[in-house]
Amino acid sequence: MLDGDMAEWVMINLGIDPVTSGPAEWREAAAWLQMQKESGTVRAYYGNDYLPDLQEENLTASMAWSGDVLYSNVWLGLDMEYVFPEGGALIWIDNMMVPAGAQNPVGAAQIMDFYYDPENATKLTEWILYMSPVPETQNLIQEDADKNFDLGYKGYASKLEATAKSPFLYPDEEFLSRTSFGFADWTDETAEEWDSIFLPISQS
């Protein structure tokens, strides 16, 4: 997989902080990726299309996103092991933002309130299987599991319970201490330079 995540994951494991990185560090990571590709260590650098090959055992190993691993293991029942890289892993977040000068900022705030409501956030978390900014979701997912156990839906309930206990969704401080955010100082210029360094690797 070669997008921003792959390049930054390599930086982390080369001892480079992606947050403060620049073109010199990007070239160092790119050289490592190119060496890995030329040596035959990797079949290819994938985009989002890596998962079917991994699930169908056409790949032995791949960089993977936590939600994909959780979905594959718990909800599809595939025997897929997650190995935390020795040097650390990448963490990311999506953000809801209201643009400056928005015509309806109150409406935007109401939408945010809707998504941050614990019950709604729980439904989202059970569906998308990525970390929620609403801590109450963990207990509410467990409550859903308990209800389904009581109703006799043991298979579904077991999956919900495993979801509530997943370190991918609810990591402890030790887990988080081994993760790093990626580069965020994006401008047209930095994006152009990044692409000039990394795109030739994935497109060659």
Q: Which DSSP string corresponds to the chain?
A: --SHHHHHHHHHHTT--GGG--HHHHHHHHHHHHHHHHTTS-S---STTHHHHHHTTS-S-----HHHHHIIIIIS---------TT-EE---------TT-S-HHHHHHHHHHHHSHHHHHHHHHHH-S--S-TTHHHHHHHHHHHHHHTT-HHHHHHHHHHHT-TTTS--HHHHHTEE-------HHHHHHHHHHHHHHHH-
Q: Which pLDDT score, from 0 to 100, does residue 204 have?
A: 63
Q: Is residue 79 part of a domain?
A: no
Shared domain for 173 and 190, answered yes or no, is: no
**pTM of the model as a whole:** 0.84
Shared domain for 155 and 199, answered yes or no, is: no
Q: Which pLDDT score, from 0 to 100, does residue 1 have?
A: 43
Q: Which pLDDT score, from 0 to 100, does residue 138 have?
A: 98
Q: Is residue 81 part of a domain?
A: no
Low-confidence ranges of the chain (pLDDT < 50): 1-2
Q: Is residue 16 part of a domain?
A: yes
Q: Which pLDDT score, from 0 to 100, does residue 3 have?
A: 59
Q: Which pLDDT score, from 0 to 100, does residue 86 have?
A: 87
Domain that holds residue 163: 96-178
Q: Is residue 171 part of a domain?
A: yes
Q: Which pLDDT score, from 0 to 100, does residue 60 have?
A: 83
Shared domain for 14 and 36, answered yes or no, is: yes
Q: Is residue 14 part of a domain?
A: yes
